Structure 1
């Protein structure tokens, strides 16, 4: 039996984005007439047929798999508010939805992914919201099944490597890294060393911030010595590594690109009695970090706005399923904020929910 040609196949053959194929085949603006003609020709040559169920999606209950890291354990420091954003949008959406929540942690990530893939195989799954770092070698076959069913996927945080996405929702990591570097180098002398808690070297959400940090330092001739730490899980061993580096006499500032590391960094600053003597810039705003900003342990946090990432991610997916609305770009950037003691009140008592629009 011949494999069904999907919209992703047409996009790949024509050398354009999935959004461009939608624009071209639905008579919408957004592509040139030359590109529209080429896409239509490729679709015809490949024998592409629109999904006959698509026109019924607006009237039927849409089942969406939400495959995000758990909001418990270490996930509470970042993903808890992302889940809030997803659930808040679903609660107000004027669409019939059947959300299937599949929160995962390191020990059950593949099991959760396989549950999602099994739903896709049934033909009763209409959309998927997930994160870029779900990708593993073990997920490749599952993603092939998803693409074969032409199920739209929205990724949060970073792109998926093994599956084409409708769009990716993420912060502007390069800008975050550059902002961190400027904040620090503006506050310490050129001979002061910096501890950079750089996170997981395999995650784009961490490495791109680090790259932005290093690019700013190089481009601006900053000669500060930087000690890098690549711990990314909360553990006694990783805490001790951060504490040891922080205890060096030449450290004048510390910076962390991820939320869990900021929690460990704050603890190390307090237990080493270097709080207020070392200029500290952290990431994100769980209550633990907010409290340390209030007390002057951490000077500034860059809030990557996980609430908005979750809210915007599910919104784009639902709008596509219910009305065929195509994201304006393949990559949608969510703004980040610099949080200090002076503006911390804007983020207290879940006020971040009102900063979305």
Structure 2
């Protein structure tokens, strides 16, 4: 039977032994041990406890011999982007651990969201039997407006291929799984660092991020709420503009320069995004005499 999980102990206890002891069917025991649905938590816990008491261990090797190879597609931006360094490391680690379980992780590196769109199309074109799941990164809220990208995501969902998106608050298309950042916690942590590293009064410059991003808005709100409560003497000045690549740096760069000219009591600069961090660092190097303050960032 494909996908069946086999178990082994020194005494060669079988699933039938557990079912006989508990007075339930072998099928129910198997489903509990395999982590499948279709029973109450109370019954599942009872079965697992009995299995432990009888010395059961899952024979993953035997299970995988019978299990068909499953491919997972992972789509992430190019590795030279430091933002994704830890995600790349995590994917590689999990890919190594999954390989003995007959799970093959196929990684696609893309240059931008349009390149990702083409990769999504290629995956969808292969049909429902090629990939068991897809994990991709949502570059921006353009996913919620771009017909071509939404169409490829919808195709995957229609084929019942579980599709997960990282780093945005996506509610469409229906059936998509979203893995957003812990924006409130990140904002509060940045604010806590700010409170620890600044005096009671002064100006804090904060890059606003992308205004149509739920993640950026909620992170900024959490940052502001924390400082208003714990360091009310600090004045928060928001820097408008959002940069993902050098050709989009202009507005952020000019707004940072303007803020440095208008505020002589800057105590800290907080960048919400990796792009804004890069631009700010360049501006600070060009204006060293005005930048004797703490600099922190996320991403």
1:43-100 per-position Cα deviation (integer Å, ceiling 9, x unaligned): xxxxxxxxxxxx999712212221222323xxx1201332222122212322231515
- State the match for 2:120 in structure 1: 113
Matched, 1:231 2:242: yes
Structure 2: gaps spanning 5 or more residues = 1-34, 44-62
Matched, 1:149 2:147: no
* Structure 2 CA distance for aligned equivalents of residues 57 and 63 of structure 1: 15
Structure 1: gaps spanning 5 or more residues = 1-22, 32-54, 285-357
- State the match for 2:286 in structure 1: 271
Q: CA deviation at 1:275?
A: 7.8
Distance 1:140 1:276, change over 3 A: closer
* Structure 1 CA distance for aligned equivalents of residues 196 and 114 of structure 2: 42
Matched, 1:140 2:145: no
Query: For this pair of structures, how many residues does the alignment match?
Result: 236
1:335-356 per-position Cα deviation (integer Å, ceiling 9, x unaligned): xxxxxxxxxxxxxxxxxxxxxx
Superposed structure 1 runs of 4+ greater than 6 Å apart: 55-58
Asked if the contact 1:133–1:203 (Cα under 8 Å) also holds between the matched residues in 2, the reply is: no
TM, length-normalised to structure 2 = 0.66
- State the match for 1:59 in structure 2: 67
- State the match for 2:110 in structure 1: 103
Query: Which of residues 233, 238, 245 in structure 1 aligns to 2:259?
Result: 245
Q: CA deviation at 1:254?
A: 0.5
- State the match for 1:218 in structure 2: 228
| Corresponding residue SS for 1:180 | helix
Matched, 1:69 2:74: no
1:190-209 counterparts in 2 under 5 A? 190-209=200-219
Distance 1:81 1:246, change over 3 A: farther
- State the match for 1:82 in structure 2: 87
Greater RCO, CA 8 A, separation 6+: 1
Distance 1:225 1:92, change over 3 A: same
| Corresponding residue SS for 1:254 | strand
